[in-house]
Amino acid sequence: MSGIKIIALNKKARFDYHIDDTLEAGLQLTGSEVKSLRDGQCNLKDSYVSFRNGEAFLQNAHISPYKASSYNNHEPERLRKLLLHKIEIERLDDQVCKKGLTIVPLKLYFKKGKVKLEIGIAKGKTKGDKRQTDKKRDADREIASRLKHSK
């Protein structure tokens, strides 16, 4: 995967949700936001995608203000428009409304100099599902450590 520089990952999303499908979207950003992203100043932890007037927006994504910028800085948690085709937006909105799914950001990265966001169509996990995830992860770690020691 040459030409891709990962800015931020949302590890909590894969723990809290079953991810059914993923999609790549562009973001409408200001100059100070892009400069801040180049420094890696971003947090996707509690963010999600919402729909208004036939447009998709990223909410609660925290991009820290750029330190070298003066008066022309951005708000850290403002609404950011996602750049998607109209058909994709309608399909996603339909799934959110009818099936009760949610759209969560998984990864923010640079691709050929442009900021891209990988979003996932997700269904929330129950407490039992999260316990299963923990057990599986612990078992995988145990197997890996035993393989390492056996060599």
pLDDT tens readout for residues 56-97: 999 999 988 888 877 778 888 889 999 999 999 999 999 999
Burial status of residue 75 (CB atoms within 10 A of its CB: 0-12, 13-18, 19 or more)? exposed
| Alpha helices (H) in the chain, listed in sequence order | 11-16, 31-38, 86-99, 127-150
Which pLDDT belongs to residue 2?
A: 62
Residues 98-110: tens digit of each pLDDT? 888 999 999 999 9
Domain boundaries, the chain: 4-124
User: If we measure between CA atoms, which residue out of 64, 62, 47 comes closest to residue 11?
Assistant: 47
- Percent of the chain, pLDDT > 90? 47
DSSP 108: E
Are 36 and 65 spatial neighbours (Cβ–Cβ below 8 Å)?
A: yes
Cα Rg for the chain, rounded, in angstroms? 18
- Confidence band for 120, pLDDT divided at 50, 70 and 90: very high
Which residue matches tokens 């085709």? 85
CATH dotted code for 4-124: 2.40.280.10
Contacts of 5 (CB under 8 A, 6+ apart): 109, 110
pTM: 0.79
Instruction: Assess whether pLDDT exceeds 80 at residue 118.
Output: yes
